[in-house]
């Protein structure tokens, strides 16, 4: 059976920083490999947030099936755990159809949620609300000291002023009975054989120019899209509303900043995001990096296809019995 044949087969992945051209390159690669694309990104999941997230076009999605796009409304909570469950179900469906799954994106956390056995404990709003109230009354240092008293490894990795992460660590301990740090043990392990990753390595000056061009080109459409979302009740208190570009567009539309300032802030935040994304992926030694120039990932398509095909061929050879090997 097809699903049994593909069980345990390494996933293919095309990753790298935002604005490196992965989306355009991935469509050509997926077509050549009979692959379906699974987007690993924290914001592509939201319906109606198309311009600011540089969502794959309808034309691209007509050419190649895309998964993990438009699966939630901006007003609803969407956790990494939910993403993990939906993405893995999508991959199983792809394999049952006899196709390859090609992960594509810049979300390092979401990429690893799919490729590796990471656990994401749930939440409990009542516990979180109580801890946030205590943080407001007692101050972040007091909560951080409490965490340090019973989970020093977690406390060492969380800055004293980072209330959000401190509250999360205390919440997990309270509702699961496990130390927050115990969930992090798998993060430093990168098992071989589960993914064949290709990274797009764009020099920083080139990447910055690409980011600047993208933001300038998308801003008019982003302002229009954000106005429509605000009219639909898209509150700025929502997590999705804090996405890069949307927060700045909303501030611009509400008269807090001008369009020039909104552009500058979006560019600055996007460049900072790209640095964090690269830091995530650089830790994964399973990723082979491909140097790119001004044209980004699309110019690398022949090399990337060869790299992925080599992996597919190696897998097929390994599955053949000794008698079948010429």
How confident is the model over 70-122, as pLDDT tens digits? 999 988 888 899 999 999 999 999 999 999 999 999 999 999 999 998 888 88
Segment 145-177, tens digit of pLDDT: 999 999 999 999 888 888 888 999 999 999 999
Query: Crossing angle, helix 259-282 and helix 246-253, to 10 degrees?
Result: 170
Confidence (pLDDT) at 70: 97
Does residue 27 surpass a pLDDT of 60?
yes
Confidence (pLDDT) at 325: 47
Given pLDDT bands bounded at 50, 70 and 90, which one contains residue 205?
Answer: very high
Instruction: Give dist(CA 178, CA 189) in Å, integer.
Output: 20
Which residues contact residue 300 at a Cβ distance below 8 angstroms, ignoring those fewer than 6 apart? 25, 200, 290, 292
CATH number for the domain that contains residue 52: 3.40.50.300
Is 30 in the same domain as 176?
no
Confidence (pLDDT) at 5: 38
Q: CB count, 10 Å around CB of 54? A: 18
Tell me the residue range of the domain where 86 lies. Answer: 2-116+190-319
Mean per-residue pLDDT, 10-26: 96
Confidence (pLDDT) at 187: 79
Instruction: Give dist(CA 282, CA 21) in Å, integer.
Output: 18
Q: What percent of the chain has pLDDT over 70?
A: 92
Q: Please report whether residue 230 resides in a domain.
A: yes
Which residues contact residue 188 at a Cβ distance below 8 angstroms, ignoring those fewer than 6 apart? none
Q: Which of 167, 188, 209 is the last residue of a domain?
A: 188
Confidence (pLDDT) at 185: 75
Is 149 in the same domain as 255?
no
Is 183 in the same domain as 260?
no
Is 22 in the same domain as 104?
yes
Segment 299-316, tens digit of pLDDT: 999 999 999 999 888 776
Does residue 8 surpass a pLDDT of 70?
no
Segment 208-257, tens digit of pLDDT: 999 999 999 999 999 999 999 998 888 765 666 778 999 999 999 999 99
Q: How many C-alpha atoms does 272 have within 13 Å on its Cβ side?
A: 8
CATH number for the domain that contains residue 146: 1.10.20.140
Q: Which of 158, 188, 218 is the last residue of a domain?
A: 188
Instruction: Give dist(CA 236, CA 240) in Å, integer.
Output: 8
Q: CB count, 10 Å around CB of 4? A: 9
Tabulate helix, strand, coil % of the chain (nearest 5).
60, 10, 30
**Helix (H/G/I), strand (E/B), else coil: 117:** coil
The per-residue pLDDT of the chain, averaged, comes to 90
Is 138 in the same domain as 208?
no
Does residue 139 surpass a pLDDT of 70?
yes
Q: Please report whether residue 285 resides in a domain.
A: yes
Q: Which of 140, 158, 188 is the last residue of a domain?
A: 188
Does residue 4 surpass a pLDDT of 60?
no
Mean per-residue pLDDT, 131-147: 93
Is 223 in the same domain as 134?
no
Instruction: Give dist(CA 70, CA 207) in Å, integer.
Output: 27
Please count the structural domains in the chain: 2
Instruction: Give dist(CA 43, CA 39) in Å, integer.
Output: 10
- Dig out the tokens for 139 from the structure: 């101050």
């Amino acid at each position: 059976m097809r699903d049994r044949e593909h069980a345990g087969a390494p996933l293919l992945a095309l990753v790298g920083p935002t604005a490196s051209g992965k989306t355009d390159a991935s469509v050509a690669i997926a077509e050549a490999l009979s692959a379906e694309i699974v987007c690993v990104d924290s914001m592509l999941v939201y319906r109606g947030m198309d311009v600011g997230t540089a969502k794959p076009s309808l034309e691209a999605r007509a050419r190649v099936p895309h998964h993990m796009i438009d699966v939630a409304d901006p007003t609803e909570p969407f956790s990494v755990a939910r993403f993990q469950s939906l993405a893995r179900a999508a991959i199983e469906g792809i394999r049952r159809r006899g196709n390859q799954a090609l992960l594509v994106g810049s979300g390092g956390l979401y990429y690893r949620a799919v490729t590796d056995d990471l656990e994401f404990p749930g939440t409990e709003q009542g516990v979180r609300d109580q801890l946030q109230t205590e943080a407001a009354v007692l101050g972040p240092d007091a909560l951080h000291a409490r965490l340090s008293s019973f989970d020093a490894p977690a406390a060492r990795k969380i800055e004293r002023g980072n209330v959000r992460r401190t509250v999360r660590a205390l919440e997990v301990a309270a509702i699961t009975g496990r130390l927050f740090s115990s969930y992090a043990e798998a993060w430093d392990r990168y098992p071989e054989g589960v993914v064949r990753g290709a990274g797009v390595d764009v020099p920083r000056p080139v990447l910055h120019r690409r980011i600047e061009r993208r933001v300038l080109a998308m801003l008019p459409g982003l302002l229009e899209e954000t106005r429509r979302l605000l009219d639909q009740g898209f509150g700025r208190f929502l997590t999705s509303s804090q996405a890069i570009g949307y927060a700045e567009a909303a501030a611009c539309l509400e008269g807090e900043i001008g369009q020039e300032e909104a552009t500058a802030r979006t560019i600055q935040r996007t460049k900072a995001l790209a640095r964090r994304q690269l830091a995530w992926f650089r830790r994964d030694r399973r990723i082979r990096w491909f140097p790119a120039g001004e044209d980004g990932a699309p110019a690398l398509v022949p090399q990337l296809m060869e790299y992925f095909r080599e992996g597919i061929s190696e897998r097929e050879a390994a599955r053949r019995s000794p008698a079948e090997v010429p």
